[in-house]
Amino acid sequence: MARTLDPRRLLLPGALATLVLAGALLGALGEATTDDLRQGDGLAELDHPVATWLSQHRTGWLTTIMRTITTLGSPLGVTITTGLVAAAVCWRTRRLSPVLLAAIVLGGAELLETVTKHLVGRPRPPLSLRVPGVSASGFSFPSGHATLAAAGYGLIAVLLTRYAQRTAARAAVWAGAAAAAAAVGFSRLYLGAHWLSDVLAGWLIGAAWLGLVVTTATVLTRRVQAARTVDEDG
């Protein structure tokens, strides 16, 4: 993908199209999601039991690990990691598209997460369920850590699998990306910074946004390549 994408003709229209589609989906689902969260229906019924159970089963060594994971997996940490990988692919391929693609994926995921938080306006778990010293401000739904982790680590997998020659290697790359996103999301639950539904929604939004961007860019790439082939044949 990084080798064939033309950033001037593909990434900007791809970003606009996927932003419109994602906004429409959020608008359609936002009201039902907000009602469920406020009334404690659906998946939100598990939020309090899960948070309470985790708060009662913490251990010192695991808390230290979760603090480290949540720091490395912060939106800033994911942005730096993804940016470095995209820059490396950009240098290898001599194409600017990986960096632009990373900017669209991460920027769009951050925007969607921020807008959804203000639309839903859900409070975070009480301090009684949180690990002392863990900072968490603003609204709770969805988890920004989980959203950026799903989008960023997923994009890393997309960029790296083009170099994997074997199916097993590609599966390993995707498994690593999924494990990293899962660890970041779980750290937010363990530390008491988010509810279960916050994390699951963050994963869904991040993965959906990544899928929309990559799919749109791929479709437009194929159309451009087809048009070029017709021109060359003509």
Q: Which residues are catalytic?
A: 145, 194
The 3-state DSSP class for residue 214 equals helix
**b/e string for 106-137 if b means 16 or more Cβ within 10 A?**
bebbbebbeebbebbebebbeeebbbeebebe
CA distances from 83 to 61, 65, 107, 112, 152 (A): 31, 24, 12, 19, 9
Q: How far apart are CA 43 and CA 53, in angstroms?
A: 16
Tell which residue, 201, 99, 221, 101, has the closest CA to residue 150.
Answer: 201
